[in-house]
Amino acid sequence: MNWLNRLFRPESDTPKYSEHDLHRAAAALLLEVARTDGTVDQAETQRLVSAVKQRWQLDSQEMQDIVSELENRVDQATDLFEFTLPLREHWGPEQRVALIDEMWAMAAADGKADVHEEHLIRRVSDLLYVSHGDYIRAKLKATRIEA
């Protein structure tokens, strides 16, 4: 059974997912930010690999698995709720805010955060119950605007 199936089966059928599964779900959300503007450039790729290795200790093969599975899953997904619910249920507020920080850093990795990336991060932030203040602080930090 692949990791996405474990995340998205109804609660009664789902064994507790591991922290590693949740890390993979977070990495998938970062990948979605990178893909939102239509291209994933070198700076975004480097930022994704760096974030994943430092924060969640996933290796290159796992990233390839995530990319392959995500491409298949995105076509079937109805919305981001599927990707955020496990994180919201199992991560504390600090971990959820840290993910929003990483998503903003990913959006700004190519030198500009585009409106579609901003919209995606705002939706994920809402679904993760991250406060608007934390969302704005993450945006300002990533885009280097002094508050």
Token digits of residue 144: 């280097």
The mean pLDDT of the chain is: 79
109 vs 74: CA distance, rounded Å: 23
Query: Quick one: pLDDT at residue 14?
Result: 47
pLDDT over threshold 80, residue 66:
no
101's CB contacts (< 8 A; 6+ apart) are 138, 141, 142
Domains and CATH numbers, the chain: 18-142 (1.10.3680.10)
Q: What letter represents residue 50's amino acid?
A: S
Higher pLDDT, 105 or 1: 105
Query: Quick one: pLDDT at residue 8?
Result: 59
Query: Quick one: pLDDT at residue 18?
Result: 78
Write the CA distances from 125 to 26, 113, 132, integer angstroms: 12, 16, 8
Give residue-wise pLDDT tens across range 82-137.
779 889 999 999 999 999 999 999 888 877 888 999 999 999 999 999 999 999 99
For tokens 């119950």, what's the residue? Answer: 129
pLDDT over threshold 70, residue 41:
yes
